[in-house]
């Protein structure tokens, strides 16, 4: 094998797209998916690659340092693409410790396991890479200076403010989730600066697409509309998110893994800002149309509920560095991406039903009963 790559969190939403892309595109790379299979991890997300000869799955907790050291040696790992994390802001508000454990201590455990193994080799860090996947949420929140939206001359898309997150934007996380991701980013950079480990960090905007756990806005709402359940819109639905189709994120990761400069940070985003209430209306119309209902018939499912504590107002990524230096651009228009996404969830009801039976119901009720 030309490379032995651990992809952590590969059974989750984004990780499963990255694993699929690498396993199929690079038959001469061995891809070792390391995942604890928490509530968010699902081997069904990887069913189409599980029999490939260049793929291996290891059920493991990244916080288990001894096991991480063993995996590094056993598989002679030369690269890590690190996606494993607790990823849902609402859960982090209820249970911050789990986020500190996995996102901070788990990342540290992996970094140290990689350091010890790579430093034991004659060539040391040559040909090695620790690639850490992070989020735009570490930068904090942007102002909504154009609440009605305006066309932006740079991006030629609708924007809701004058500022954007760039790679040098100061970290200012607000939620326990983003605080834990910020901390892990700092540790990754510290391993480069202190020990000379070749590291890379990318900060991406909100992803959408197939295989996302239905606690996040888009799959949750698609499923609720299908079953005609209320759609809990936090606050007034005015918050703005910058949405990127997950396969475009996976393509960016592939490109940056192979051609990104060590120790650099790249922001990844689609220049695709939407107010929550507007994207929700698009989702309702799309689900209604694809289910043969009258478009807009389910708009009355919208239910305004108590806002999320510390709810960041606006995220907007400036990804021009990635475009200018490595030539990456999103391949999919949002209209096409959302149509493909809604169609996928409606066509894969069994996948959804498996996840949303049992424990999920209890969790969902506990999350929403107080709103
Ligand atoms: P996800 O919650 O869907 O998947 C996370 C995966 O990590 C799951 O398979 C889970 O089982 C695994 N995991 C959790 N704790 C673990 C542990 N202790 N040991 C091993 N595995 C563990 O998350 P996602 O949305 O796919 O996000 C993946 C990464 O991308 C995260 O690091 C997240 O911060 C980042 N990110 C996500 C988004 C987004 O919009 N979803 C945007 C930018 C960045
Ligand atoms: P989410 O998908 O949880 O991603 P993030 O918080 O990481 O951006 O939420 C996207 C936006 O949708 C966010 O502004 C919160 C809002 N939201 C709701 O209004 N209702 C919901 O039930 C959920 C899950 C999110």
For residue range 316-340, list pLDDT tens digits in order. Answer: 999 999 999 999 999 999 999 999 9
Confidence of residue 359 (pLDDT cuts 50, 70, 90): confident
Predicted local confidence at residue 174, as pLDDT:
98
Calpha distance 283→251 (Å, rounded): 25
Q: Which atom of ligand 2 is nearest to the CA of 240?
A: 14
Q: What percentage of the chain has pLDDT greater than the value 90?
A: 93
Q: Which atom of ligand 1 is nearest to the CA of 101?
A: 18
226-276 pLDDT tens trace: 999 999 999 999 999 999 999 999 999 999 999 999 999 999 998 999 999
Q: Which ligand is nearest to the CA of 184?
A: 1
Active-site residue list: 136-137, 177
Q: Look at residue 340 and give its three-state secondary structure.
A: helix
User: What percent of the residues of the chain are helix, what percent strand, and what percent coil, each to the nearest 5?
Assistant: 45, 20, 40
Q: Are 197 and 118 in contact (CB under 8 A)?
A: yes
CA 85 to centroid of ligand 1, rounded, Å: 4
Predicted local confidence at residue 155, as pLDDT:
72
Mutate to test the pocket of ligand 1, among 63, 66, 84 (most ligand atoms within 8 A of CB): 84
Residue closest to 45 by CA, chosen among 67, 22, 13, 78: 13
180-217 pLDDT tens trace: 999 999 999 999 999 999 999 999 999 999 999 999 99
Confidence of residue 368 (pLDDT cuts 50, 70, 90): low
Calpha distance 305→302 (Å, rounded): 10
Q: Which ligand is nearest to the CA of 220?
A: 2
Q: What percentage of the chain has pLDDT greater than the value 70?
A: 99
Quick one: fold of 3-208+244-272+310-334? Rossmann fold (3.40.50)
- Per-chain mean pLDDT for the chain: 96
Could you tell me which residues are beta bridge partners of residue 29? 3
Predicted local confidence at residue 369, as pLDDT:
65
Q: Look at residue 236 and give its three-state secondary structure.
A: coil
Helical segments of the chain, H only: 13-25, 65-74, 89-94, 96-99, 107-120, 176-195, 217-226, 246-259, 276-290, 320-326, 334-347, 349-355, 359-368
Predicted local confidence at residue 291, as pLDDT:
98
CA 336 to centroid of ligand 1, rounded, Å: 25
Could you tell me which residues are beta bridge partners of residue 6? 32, 80
Q: Which residues contact 234 (CB under 8 A, 6 or more apart)?
A: 276, 305, 306, 307, 308, 311
Q: Are 84 and 36 in contact (CB under 8 A)?
A: yes
69-88 pLDDT tens trace: 999 999 999 999 999 999 99
Q: Look at residue 29 and give its three-state secondary structure.
A: strand
Where exactly are the structural domains of the chain? 3-208+244-272+310-334
Q: Are 271 and 161 in contact (CB under 8 A)?
A: no
138-187 pLDDT tens trace: 999 999 999 999 988 777 789 999 999 999 999 999 999 999 999 999 99
Its pTM stands at: 0.98
pLDDT beyond 70 at 371: no
CB of 213 within 6 A of ligand 1: the answer is: yes
Confidence of residue 360 (pLDDT cuts 50, 70, 90): confident
């Amino acid at each position: 094998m030309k490379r032995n790559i651990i992809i952590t969190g590969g059974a989750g939403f984004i990780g499963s797209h990255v694993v699929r892309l690498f396993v199929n595109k690079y038959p001469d790379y061995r891809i070792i998916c390391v995942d604890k299979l928490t509530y968010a991890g699902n081997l069904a997300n990887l069913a189409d690659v599980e029999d490939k000869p260049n793929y291996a799955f290891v059920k493991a907790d990244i916080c288990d340092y001894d096991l991480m050291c063993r995996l590094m040696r056993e598989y002679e790992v030369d690269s890590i693409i690190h996606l494993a994390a607790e990823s849902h802001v609402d859960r982090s508000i209820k249970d911050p410790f789990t986020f500190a454990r996995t996102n901070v201590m788990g990342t540290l455990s992996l970094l140290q396991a990689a350091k010890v193994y790579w430093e034991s080799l004659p060539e040391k860090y040559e040909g090695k890479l620790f690639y850490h996947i992070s989020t735009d949420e570490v930068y904090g929140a942007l102002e909504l200076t154009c609440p009605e939206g305006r066309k932006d001359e740079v991006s030629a898309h609708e924007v809701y403010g004058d500022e954007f997150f760039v790679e040098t934007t100061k970290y200012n996380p607000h939620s326990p989730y983003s605080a834990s991701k910020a901390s892990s980013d700092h540790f990754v950079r510290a391993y480069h600066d202190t020990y000379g480990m070749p590291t890379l960090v990318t900060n991406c905007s909100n992803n959408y697409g197939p295989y996302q756990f239905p606690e996040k806005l888009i799959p949750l709402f698609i499923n609720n509309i299908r079953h005609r359940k209320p759609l809990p819109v936090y606050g007034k639905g005015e918050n703005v998110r910058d949405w990127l189709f997950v396969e475009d994120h996976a393509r960016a990761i592939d490109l940056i893994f192979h051609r990104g400069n060590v120790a650099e940070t790249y922001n990844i985003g689609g220049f695709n800002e939407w107010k929550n209430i507007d994207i929700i209306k698009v989702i309702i119309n799309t689900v209604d149309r694809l289910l043969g209902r009258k478009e807009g018939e389910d708009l009355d499912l919208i239910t305004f509920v108590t806002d999320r504590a510390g709810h960041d107002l606006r995220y907007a990524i400036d990804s021009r560095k990635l475009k200018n230096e490595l030539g990456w651009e999103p391949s999919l228009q949002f209209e096409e991406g959302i149509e493909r996404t809604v169609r996928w969830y409606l066509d894969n009801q069994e996948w959804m039903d498996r996840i949303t039976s049992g424990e999920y119901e209890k969790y969902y009720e506990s999350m929403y009963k107080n709103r």
